[in-house]
Structure 1
Amino acid sequence: MLTRALIVVLAILNVGVASWWLLRSEPAPATPPQPATGVAELRWLPGGTDAAAVAQTAATTAPTEALQEREAAPSAAVAATEAPATTPPAEAAPSAEAAPAVAAAEKPAEPVVEKPVVEKPAAPPRCVALGPFADRAAAVAAQGRAGKLLAPARLREQPAASGSTRYRVLLPAAASREDAQAMVKRIVAAGLSDYYIISQGEESNAIALGQYRNREGAERRIAAVQAAGFQPRLVASGDAGQWWLEGQLAAGSEPAQAQQRSGAAQQRSLECTRLR
């Protein structure tokens, strides 16, 4: 009884398997997994080709077009990510004219070493005596012509060789003897001494206030009399002396130039200490 039941069950199973085998549809081909980049793709070839030979052939041959396209796509993506978003414009190279200026700007400035200025020593002053002139008036005129070529300048009278020249200080002659005596009283009241009234000659009734051998002494006497309120005059007597114009030459001028300008007949070197 049990044996029959098993046979029936097996028969039913066989019928069911046969029905399923006949009625089933073709299975969809499975999508092969995507190979990694750089690995050759393996494909199933119909006709019973040996899989080992196919794999060896695929390894030794170049990748297919599809594989090349897939390899190119990741390479482009990597290049896009590595490249900067925007490429700054290249700086223009400096022109030939601007190159020296750029080089000068980049080069550090060298310290300027100032050389000490050596001042030339001033030339020593030179002094001259110009003359001789016949009288004081001629010497004064020569001083005016010389101008700034002689500064400072002074007039000097050189007595005659015989030494007979004398200088007298006189007050003008009065109208009468009484007027001359009245003038003497005024002189005494002013504190002056060394006076006398001339009684003869062209200078009668004039008042003499001193006689001197050199002009300098006579001029000092005149200054004292003028300070007392009188107006004396200087009178030279005896052999006439000579007048000289003495002074210090201006910077850059020559003695010959001063001589020509003043009209002097001679010029002599002079120590400048004598002018002080």
Structure 2
Amino acid sequence: MLLRLLFVLLIALNIAVAAWLLLGESSTHAVEPSDKGVPELKLLTELPVASSTALPVTSSAALSVAPSAAGSAAPAKAPVGAANEKPAAAVATPPVTPATHPAPTPPAAAPEAEKAVADAPAPPATVPTSAKRSYRCLAVGPFATQVDLRTARTALGSRTVRSRQRQEQTTESHGWRVFLPAQATRDQALAQAKRLEAKGIKDYFVVTAQGELQNSVALGLFHDPANARKRRDEVIAAGFPARMSERTETTPVWWLDVVVPDDASNDVRKAIRAPATARPTGCF
């Protein structure tokens, strides 16, 4: 029973709220956020700008406005009672130009840095060098092979201004020989060799090879010329026309011509390995 009563009350309450909403006031009055009689605040940018009333700019000083003053400006409140008055013509504000800031001054050097600069030693004075320098030309060699030549050129490379190589033909002595002059035929040479043996002279050889000594009788080859002369005199004493001559051969040799400073010529001579030598030569 109680539940039915509560249910009826709820239905009646809903009907009453619906009737109030339908039959009540259809419009609501907006509540002013400010007190009555106080005019509304407006920004300067909201005011109408009259181009005809703009003030001419007469000086460049009037065009620049300090940033601090411009940033701190705020719209002032209108006086009470002036809400119904027509706003006066707005004054044109000159364009704001950014203030020119001077370049930052570099910080002063620390006292320790100034002292270090003051105590730093002065750079040494440049000693003038003489542009004139004497040079000497030397011929280094002879070298039997090109390998020896290249080795010497590498060793002397840091001491020379320039260098060149050249080849020459040289005559080398390979001892002394004693012989009997060549005969017209081989039989005559053999007959002469038999006569030597009959005189007790041994160690001979009949040359049969082609050349200027063909059909001659060789009596020996000696490195010491004194021994060669002794053998020749012995054969002459036996009645044969023995002769003595130096045995030579023509072989190629290589020379290295270098140009060195005059004060470095002694170092070049010390760096040369025997049997090569260094001798003055014409410059190139």
User: TM-score interval w.r.t. the shorter chain?
Assistant: under 0.3
Q: TM-score, normalised by structure 1?
A: 0.27
Q: TM-score, normalised by structure 2?
A: 0.26
Q: Which of 1 and 2 has greater Rg? A: 1
